A and B are shown apart, each in its own frame.
Chain A
């Protein structure tokens, strides 16, 4: 940052012209090389993460074999490490989060791009950005504070109502606890709304106004315009945005670790407690040694691989429409 020169001024031409000497060529090559190295650093870090994590986790993988991801028993005392419960917890919470966040985010993105007057538009964008600025641990702590009341009371209410219906009872039936898959999923939903919103907004902005005007001129309502002229154009971009949100939800740690209740179970009941890969790592890594430590790193490897796959697919889909390029957030 400090190396930046002041804004260009009148002497620039003279300054630039005076430097057409042979040495300058080498400076340029050096500069190019330095920037290239900085660029390759990303690849190096990713490779190094994969390499170190896998080598450090190897003892646990070798000890446990494929049952590392297929077994349900995770007991460091007897050196048995089956991560299926945690993988399930990660999947379920992420699924709840995406299920709630997608309709919301898409609605907000459409509001910003199609409905809102210019002044409101920037205000809403700003507010959604603030939602992204709240730290994960604050979300978690807040959710922890409202767990027993009102959250558990609301859950009890839902369980009492929906629990009597035949199919829904296997998802929403009691008994309920505040620290549950549902709480984790809700908090994750709030946390990924800003990401999905901002990505979908960028996708939606690429649809040309002419197309929309054409539909409107045919007498379409705004909703019909969206269906006819907008959605078909942005489908792959939106799928990419949703998958990036999914990836974020699966990797999110701290908020989930505070509210998921840390118990091992696979259940379709969303009001029961569970655990995710990330929260298990967060809770247990500092005290772990030897094989259990390797196993936790192994969990990290599984998480890393899953999120990388989700992200690569998401980016590949999104890049095909060459829309989301450059949207890091």
Chain B
């Protein structure tokens, strides 16, 4: 990004003159504005810190090896059992969604940036994928539920149905972040490749994509992190299960987010503890994705 100097320090003569010319009233208003900016950051930190501390303190006591590896209890009311099916479900469903959304999103981004920078169709696609990022996740869930699970194709509940809903959510995010990354690749590289006589598809696959890869991976990880935490698209699509189902194509499934949703709505403290354990596990998974994305993109930034 463009480096913006913080307003000149005291060594700057302009700032020195300015400081002496400012009346107390103006200085006060300015101080108020500064306090607003700093205060906003501090206020935003409060929920983050409080939630993380809360989840850690409530969830850490619940998590144990057997909690992570056992099947869900049949009756949520009592202690015991584990959350292994939810962990497996979260990983499998999110991965399946990523396998659908990321390649498609990348191809669409290639179209937007490499084949159709200008023109009517690309700008419509660009605009509509921006708009699609705003479609509520519950609507995606309803959509897949009606078209795939129940009335439309009657495939019934499955991990795949949930993955489809998640993929619909991820697709526009992946498209826009990939396009952004492709745009960062300097045109010199493309021209050099063109000059060697390469067709566009070779330029894309051999030059542009490798150059943009770290940024693409980082964007993809963020999209995965967001999808892994989603609940609403899964409520009507994956059904429920108490045992591990690692097959996304067949049978009902469950996820950490869905288990939190179910357990949170019961009045039982054992269920609440289980939900806190799920919440901690889910946050850990999501944060790992976010941090990996950050590390990859930092590498990219230093390389570029």
Contacts and interface: CB of A to CB of B under 8 A. Distances in A.
Interface of A: 1, 3-8, 12-13, 15-17, 19-20, 24-25, 27-28, 31-32, 34-43, 45-46, 48-49, 52-53, 56, 103-108, 110-111, 113-118, 124, 126-142, 144-145, 190, 193, 197, 205, 209, 216-217, 219, 221-226, 244, 247-248, 250-254, 258, 278, 281-282, 285-286, 296-297, 300, 303-304, 307-308, 310-312, 314-315, 319, 325-329
B9 to A, nearest CB: 10
Contacts of A20: 197
Contacts, number: 351
B64 interface: no
A319 B130 CA distance: 11
B279 A131 contact: no
Contact of A127 (B48, B50, B132, B276): B48
A141 B260 contact: yes
A76 B48 CA distance: 40
Nearest to A18: B197
Contact of A205 (B1, B6, B104, B133): B1
B134 A311 contact: yes
B48 A107 contact: no
A249 to B, nearest CB: 10
Given A134-B51, A140-B264, A278 B34 contact: no
B3 to A, nearest CB: 8
Contact of B134 (A52, A142, A247): A247
A275 to B, nearest CB: 14
A127 B145 CA distance: 35
Given A39-B112, A315-B130, A107 B231 contact: no
26 contacts: A4-B210, A5-B209, A8-B207, A12-B206, A19-B197, A24-B199, A36-B111, A38-B108, A41-B104, A42-B108, A42-B175, A43-B128, A52-B143, A56-B151, A130-B290, A131-B44, A133-B287, A133-B290, A135-B229, A193-B44, A219-B17, A219-B18, A223-B30, A254-B232, A303-B138, A312-B131
B40 interface: yes
B21 to A, nearest CB: 5
A27 B199 contact: yes
Contacts of B140: 49
B302 interface: no
Please list the 3 inter-chain residue pairs (A to B) with the smallest Cβ-Cβ separation, ordered nearest first: A251-B136, A107-B40, A135-B229
A58 to B, nearest CB: 12
B282 A138 contact: yes
A43 B236 contact: no
Contact of A28 (B8, B199, B265): B199
A118 B3 CA distance: 9
A115 B4 CA distance: 10
A1 B131 contact: no
B101 to A, nearest CB: 10
Given A39-B108, A278-B138, A137 B229 contact: yes
Contacts of A319: 127
Contacts of B290: 129-130, 133
Interface string B178-195: 011001000000000100
Interface in B18-33: 18, 21-22, 26-27, 29-30, 32-33
A303 B139 contact: yes
A221 B196 contact: no
B44 A38 contact: no
B243 interface: no
Contact of B126 (A31, A117, A219, A325): A325
A14 B115 CA distance: 24
B171 A141 contact: no
Q: Interface size bucket, B side?
A: 35 or more
Interface in B83-113: 102-108, 110-112
B200 A282 contact: no
A106 B201 CA distance: 42
A110 B37 contact: yes
B60 interface: no
Contact of B282 (A48, A130, A135, A282): A135
Contact of B229 (A116, A134, A247): A134
Contacts of A46: 128, 131-132, 135
Contacts of B296: none
A135 B283 contact: yes
Given A38-B107, A136-B230, A300-B139, A16 B51 contact: no
A324 to B, nearest CB: 8
Given A28-B200, A42-B171, A258 B51 contact: no
A12 B213 CA distance: 18
A278 B232 contact: yes
B260 A138 contact: yes
A248 B134 contact: yes
Contact of B257 (A103, A135, A209): A135
Contacts of B172: 42, 328
Given A217-B14, A304-B139, A19 B41 contact: no
B132 A128 contact: no
A103 B232 contact: no
A45 B33 contact: no
Contacts of A117: 6
Scoring B222, B229, B272 by chain A CB atoms within 10 A of each residue's CB, the highest score goes to B229
Nearest to B240: A286
Given A133-B225, A315-B130, A315-B131, A145 B54 contact: yes
A131 B136 contact: no
